[in-house]
Structure formats: structure tokens, C-alpha cells
Amino acid sequence: MEPFVNTQIDSGIATITFFHPQGNALPGMLLARLAADITAAGANPEAKVIVLKSAGDRAFCAGASFDELLSITNEADGKAFFSGFANVINAMRKVPKLIIARVQGKAVGGGVGLAGAADYTLATTSAAIKLSELTIGIGPFVISPVVERKIGTSAFMHMSINATQFYDAQWAKDKNLYADVFDSIEALDAAVDKLARQLTSYNPEAMKLLKQVAWEGTGHWDTLLAERAEMSGKLVLSDFTKQALFKLKSS
């Protein structure tokens, strides 16, 4: 299957689904489309709530595309790529509708950022998380504000420093990244559908104001995340990162 992002609106629920054959990784093209679809759903009067999900029954999101990281040859392109993650996070926080993330499997790097940027995240017990950026010579700089906001600085640093370890879904729930975890995808989908349908019956203006209150104090993130994208865009050009990526691709 080819990579895609699509949106379906049914009974007030806008379901945005993304897919990439490499573990639902996110190259720049998918990031741009994801940000655009989230923004469009927020502006569509037919949508009362947004559900963000990935296709398949395995990984939720493998994070950045290694192929695209290897193709970056200058700082401008590096900043542009990591700005893709910044744009998605900013779209998620700015959209005037609540976002439910449905995390059916493992989330790495930017995938953890998506889970953190959602207003309410539900997952399966298979949805372990990892911040592996240090292992390839960069850091989780763009996603750190949104992840720290959910789990706290201490837990964020534990994940960032212990960059080879997956933290299980129960740990993620205990740290408030996940609101709840379920033993199966079927149970997860039932819970997501139930919550989304409940939200469509609530006052849209009240939900909009609730989201504004929850994200208060993040108005500077357009600038902050752009600065973080520039940091990563410089580091990705290092020999350390290039060698680490080649090693991972050949393993």
C-alpha cells in the first residue's frame, strides 16, 4: 500500500487516519498532509470531535522516516523536515475541537509526540513508547514541550536518556500520557467510539473553551517549536547521525 492520510466524517466524528508501510513512519509529505487534514477538520462545521489514528494493527507510529533523514544535506532542509512535526503539534493544539488519539501499537519518537498532543489518548496494552533520538545523534527537541506537558520533565528525561528502552503502556498510563489502556484493539475501538459519540452530544462552544483553557500558556509554541526544529535540523547533518542511520538501515 502507498502512504496516505485521509479524513472521514460520520455523525459528527472526523476520523483522520495515516499510514506508511514502514511502521507508520512520518516523512515530510505525510506530516504536511496530516497537519492540513487536522486544520481542515477543525474548520469543518460537520465535525464535532476528531479521532486521530493510524492504519493497521501493529505500530501506531515509528516516528521520523529514516530514509528522509538520510536524504537531508543542508540545514534548511533539516529544519524544514523537523518543522513538519512542529506543524502537526501546533495544528493539534490550535484546532478548536477535542482530539482523541487511538494508539493501537508501539509509538516511537514523533509518535509519542502525537499521543502527547492529543487531548485524550486511549491505547492498547501493546502500545509501548520509546524516545530513541539520542541513539542516532539528535534529541526529542520538537516533541519535548508536548511530551513534558503530559508526563513531566523527570519522566521525559528518563525516556530520553534511556533511549533504547521501551516503556510499557501501563507506565505511559501511570505518567498520564494515556487516559486508559485496553487488552485488545476491539476493546480500544469500542472505547474510542463511545467517547467520541458522547462528545458529539456536548456543547461545541464549551468544548472549544475547555481546550483553550487546557492549552493556555502555549501561545509561544509557534516560535519555540521552530527553534527546536532548527536544532534537530543541524544535528541530523552530523557524521554521527549519518553513520547511526546507515547502521540501522543495514541491520
C-alpha cell at 184: 485488545
CB atoms within 10 A of CB 246: 12
Q: How many CB atoms lie within 10 A of CB 157?
A: 13
pLDDT digits (tens, 9 = 90+) for 22-50: 999 999 999 999 999 999 999 999 999 99
pLDDT in tens, 52-110: 999 999 999 999 998 899 999 999 999 999 999 999 999 999 999 999 999 999 999 99
For the stretch 159-213, pLDDT in tens is 999 999 999 999 999 999 999 999 999 999 999 999 999 999 999 999 999 999 9
Grid cell of 167 as nine digits: 516503556
- Report if residue 163 sits inside a domain: yes
The pLDDT of residue 188 is 98
In the structure grid, which three cell numbers stand for residue 248, read together?
Answer: 540501522
Q: What is the tally of structural domains in the chain?
A: 1
- Which pLDDT score, from 0 to 100, does residue 230 have? 97
CATH number of the domain that residue 44 is part of: 3.90.226.10
pLDDT in tens, 147-158: 999 999 999 999
- Report residue 81 as a C-alpha cell: 523536515
115: which 3 cell numbers? 499521543
Residue 246 within any structural domain of the chain: no
The pTM for the full model equals 0.97
In a domain, 170, yes or no: yes
Task: Identify whether 203 is part of a domain.
Answer: no
Q: Residue 113 gets which letter from DSSP? A: H
Domain interval for residue 56:
4-187
Above 90 in pLDDT, residue 248? no
- Residue 215, domain member (yes or no): no
In a domain, 132, yes or no: yes
Inside any domain, residue 223:
no
Within-domain flag for 221: no
User: What pLDDT is attached to residue 251?
Assistant: 73
